[in-house]
Amino acid sequence: DTAVSQTPKYLVTQMGNDKSIKCEQNLGHDTMYWYKQDSKKFLKIMFSYNNKELIINETVPNRFSPKSPDKAHLNLHINSLELGDSAVYFCASSQARRGLETQYFGPGTRLLVL
């Protein structure tokens, strides 16, 4: 059984479109994250939710909006997509223990904006 799953795995879309990426974890964790990995493999955290409450909101354009309907799900909606949004987006989850927890990553969603 997949611990952290993301859909879709690949997403190719036009500039200006709106798209969503979904993430689900079946580990019983209470904290979930979104990361962006650029073409040089650099990873940056975007958002984190703990028990459905937003706890990390890094400097991300407000075109990006996370939503956590419950502890097991964290979705990412992106409005007005731009070329620079092309990247791999990873969802992750952990059991909140303030820095001691291991984060479990999903397989990634490869977004290409044309």
Partner 1 sequence: GNSVTQMEGPVTLSEEAFLTINCTYTATGYPSLFWYVQYPGEGLQLLLKATKADDKGSNKGFEATYRKETTSFHLEKGSVQVSDSAVYFCALSPGDYKLSFGAGTTVTVRA
List interacting residues with partner 1 (CB under 8 A): 4, 31, 40-45, 48, 50, 55-56, 90, 92, 94, 96, 98-108
Q: Which is nearer to partner 1, 13 or 103 (CB)?
A: 103
Q: Shortest approach of partner 1 to residue 62 CB, angstroms?
A: 20
Q: Shortest approach of partner 1 to residue 69 CB, angstroms?
A: 20
Q: Which is nearer to partner 1, 15 or 54 (CB)?
A: 54
Q: Shortest approach of partner 1 to residue 16 CB, angstroms?
A: 29
CA atoms within 13 A on the CB side of 17: 13
Q: Which is nearer to partner 1, 20 or 102 (CB)?
A: 102
Distance CA 59, CA 99 (A): 21
**CA-to-CA separations, 37 to 87, 93, 94, in angstroms, rounded:** 6, 16, 19
3-state helix, strand, coil in the chain (%, to 5): 5, 55, 40
